[in-house]
Amino acid sequence: MNTVIPTTASIVNKPRKVIRNAVIFTLLMIAGAVITGNSGLDGMNGGYALIVLFGFLAMSSLVTALVYLPRAREFDKLVSQLHPLAHWTYSNEEWNAFIKEDLKEMIEVNKATLRLVIIISLVVGAILLLLYRDNLFILIIGGIILMLSLVAFLAPRIRSRILRKGIHESLIGETSAYVGGTFQTWKQLGAHLVGTDIYEEAEIPVLHIIFEFPTLQASQQEIIRIPVPAGKMEEARKITEILRKQIN
């Protein structure tokens, strides 16, 4: 049974909260720089360093606010749409089944990625060890592998915890999606849609929206997983057809 639990009125625009907090922090850092500059503190005794630090933190916060501004607008657009592509709610049984499947998928993806990273790290470590014959590289590579393994282990479980606390609701638009408290968009910072499908082999079908976005190293792929509630499979298939039109 597709039980209606919350409404869009209960959905909080978290990107806008980030913007508000970033702006407040920026103003505080600017005030700190101004106060330091007019406090009579000798620049050579730490005054210049404090001003530079306050300025750096202010610029970082301002950039954060600017980065999140398009996300906040996309969020408002998604929630305020009179007719989004889909607005689904879930029973407790459906939501728990999704959390279980989402955790399973994330663990599998992280394991595959971690295996690749470990292989690359070992190859690079072996080359550096042969070139420089310094055992310190063994500790460095081992530390990197340990840290990445910890992240790969914790990240899926942290996400599951967030989903358990989130509302049993999802919204899907043409350029963004909101699932159980997590908002994602594929319309900013060079992001673009690369695929969409429906995985039907699990206890609850899961709609996958796959997009890529540029990073400093290379393009990174992200998968948005959205559970398909009972009686909504045909609607989910129509959504995949609509979104595929965005793929170049």
CA neighbor of 167 nearest in space, from 54, 52, 10: 10
CA neighbor of 221 nearest in space, from 66, 79, 67, 112: 112
Helix (H/G/I), strand (E/B), else coil: 171: strand
Residue 21 confidence class, pLDDT cut points 50, 70, 90:
very high
pLDDT given for residue 139 in this prediction? 86
**Average pLDDT in the 115-133 region?**
87
Average pLDDT along the chain: 86
Residue 27 confidence class, pLDDT cut points 50, 70, 90:
very high
Residue 83 confidence class, pLDDT cut points 50, 70, 90:
low
CA distances from 81 to 29, 46, 173, 176 (A): 37, 52, 8, 12
Residue 248 confidence class, pLDDT cut points 50, 70, 90:
confident
Burial class (CB in 10 A: 0-12, 13-18, 19+), 182: middle
Evaluate if residue 8 carries a pLDDT over 60. Answer: no
- What residues have CB less than 8 Å from 125, skipping those under 6 apart? 137, 138, 140, 141
Query: pLDDT for 173-229, tens place per residue?
Result: 998 999 988 888 898 778 889 999 999 988 999 999 999 988 766 678 889 999 999
140 against 25, higher pLDDT: 25
Helix (H/G/I), strand (E/B), else coil: 207: strand
Query: pLDDT for 38-66, tens place per residue?
Result: 877 665 666 678 888 888 999 999 999 99
